[in-house]
């Protein structure tokens, strides 16, 4: 059994508040509110609470990362364009006390070369991309089974 106070933090970076209108070819037509609701529902089914957060301001994302407590069972982050550029976000992610999954809606490797580089990929436990909103849902499942395994060890 997962203790009731276990939660997953779901962090969305810049421009992801525009989902639903933004470039549906890459990002689909669901809004961030719809995606968050699906994440919350799956997480609840698997025994986890969720804390969801989106910002377009880099310093706010860094403050949010600093606020993550040790009872956080895992972090799912779609850092948007900061993925490709921000050493400050990387430094904050690298201090987290729990496993982190990097997520992207689109297959960044099928896009412009500047999206092929991630400053996070070597400090996260894994990365899921290209499945639209299912990238987040797969990340929830991956963190839940990793958490269960680590509790059994
Ligand atoms: C993204 C991919 C990034 O390259 C882009 O800047 C985004 C969204 C994705 O989810 O596919 O904002 O992270």
As a whole number of angstroms, the distance between CA 33 and CA 110 comes to 26
* Residue with CA at minimum distance from ligand 1 atom 9: 104
pLDDT digits 0-9 by tens, 75-111: 999 999 999 999 999 999 999 999 999 999 999 999 9
Q: What is the pLDDT of residues 3-54, one digit of tens each?
A: 546 999 999 999 999 999 999 999 999 999 999 999 999 999 999 999 999 9
Out of 15, 81, 129, mutate this one to test ligand 1's pocket (max ligand atoms within 8 Å of CB): namely 81
- 130 Cα–ligand 1 center, Å: 10
The CATH number of 7-152 is 3.40.50.9100
Q: Which residues line ligand 1 (CB under 6 A)?
A: 15, 78, 80-81, 83, 104-106, 108, 115
Query: What is the residue extent of each domain of the chain?
Result: 7-152
For residue 151, what pLDDT is reported? 84
3-state SS, one letter per residue, for the chain: CCCCCCEEEEEECCCHHHCCCCCHHHHCCCCHHHHHHHHHHHHHHCCCEEEEEECCCHHHHHHHHHCCCCCEEEEEEECCCHHHHCHHHHHHHCCCCCCEEEEECCCHHHCCHHHCCCCCCCCCCEEEECCCCHHHHHHHHHHHHHHHHHHHC
Q: Which residues have a catalytic role annotated?
A: 27, 104
Expressed in angstroms and rounded, the spacing between residue 81 Cα and the centre of ligand 1 is: 6
Query: What pTM, to 2 d.p., does this model score?
Result: 0.96
pLDDT reported for residue 134: 98
């Amino acid at each position: 059994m997962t203790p009731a106070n276990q939660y997953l933090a779901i962090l969305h970076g810049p421009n992801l508040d525009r989902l639903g209108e933004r470039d549906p070819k890459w990002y689909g037509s669901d809004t961030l509110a719809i995606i968050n609701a699906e994440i919350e529902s799956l997480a609840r089914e698997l025994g986890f609470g969720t804390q969801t957060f989106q910002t377009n301001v880099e310093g706010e994302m860094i403050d949010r990362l600093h606020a993550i407590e040790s009872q956080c069972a895992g972090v799912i982050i779609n850092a948007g364009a900061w993925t490709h550029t921000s050493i400050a976000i990387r430094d904050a992610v690298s201090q987290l006390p729990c496993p982190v999954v990097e997520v992207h809606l689109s297959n960044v490797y099928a896009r412009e070369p500047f999206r092929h580089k991630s400053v996070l990929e070597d400090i996260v436990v894994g990365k899921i991309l290209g499945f639209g909103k299912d990238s987040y849902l797969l990340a929830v499942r991956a963190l839940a089974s990793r958490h269960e395994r680590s509790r059994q060890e």
